[in-house]
Amino acid sequence: MALAWSCCVLDLQGRVLEEANADAVQPTASIGKLFLLCETAERIVDGRLDPHARLHREPQFAVADSGLWQHLAQDSLPLVDACVLVAAVSDNWATNVLLHAVGLESVAARAEALGCTHSRLHDRVRDVRTPDVPPTLSSGTARELAEVARRIHVAASGGEVGGISGDAARLVEGWLLTGVDLSLVAAPFRLDPLAHTVGRVRLWSKTGTDIGIRADVGVAWNQSDALSYAAIATWQTGDDVADLPFERMHALGRTLASRMW
């Protein structure tokens, strides 16, 4: 059994409350879409992008697996609706269309502005990764990603942080609150996956799932406390890890939930 596990939990001031191998660089599947959402939000706020501009579901950006747009009849959507699809269901087609509008270099610059050295979105989503493209969609460290989540929440709450403005952070946090995948760290909170945008305890998360990868980044908060977290579990195909990735994620979630409820 060979599971590579890393995690990091930060309080509102950025102090480390828990960590394990937090500086290990691991593949993170869809987690890198966070940087795309942050860059898109900043461009909406500063006027470079029209939030109601229609984005078209062009065939060259089609990809299977996660998402709803591939199942919908509508071939075009307002840009902000595409953002909601990415945040809510990690929509791959919407991700690729947004990334085409924004540009991968700009998304990389946003990751750097948010304090990341090793955490990046490397490419668009692809059905097959050939040797001539990056081997993984995104990668990162638990420490950097927990800090990104903290900065989004602090800025959305009116604080000043580097890398994202308050108005952009409020957009991003609003989109992410619609996320339906609460199966990993968020599971012990027992929130309704389809309706948890309000409540005494609130939580947003962005998960990443691929063969041999489970990752989760987010923030949980109530009236008196807020915790940001990142957790990454990776393993090689054929390794007998059974339920261990989920057990580790859920154990971390129980620790966080015990402080929130």
CATH for 246: 3.40.710.10
- In degrees and rounded to multiples of 5, residue 116 shows phi and psi of -95, 135
Give the model confidence (pLDDT) of 42-56 as tens digits.
Answer: 999 999 999 999 999
CA distance 76 to 55: 5
CA distance 1 to 20: 18
Q: Residue 163: CB partners within 8 Å, gap ≥ 6? A: 38, 110, 113, 114, 115, 148, 151
- The whole-angstrom distance between residue 197's C-alpha and the CA centroid of its chain comes to 16
- The whole-angstrom distance between residue 98's C-alpha and the CA centroid of its chain comes to 15
Number of domains in the chain: 1
Give the model confidence (pLDDT) of 168-212 as tens digits.
Answer: 999 999 999 999 999 999 999 999 999 999 999 999 999 999 999
Task: Specify whether the CB–CB gap between 111 and 120 falls below 8 A.
Answer: yes
In degrees, rounded to 5, the angle at the alpha carbon of residue 5 between the alpha carbons of residues 7 and 136 is 95
Q: pLDDT higher for 240 or 42?
A: 42
Would you say residue 1 has pLDDT above 60? no
CA distance 10 to 85: 28
- The chain-wide mean pLDDT, for the chain, equals 96
What is the reported pTM?
0.96
237 pLDDT tier (thresholds 50, 70, 90): confident
The parent domain of residue 245 ranges over 4-260
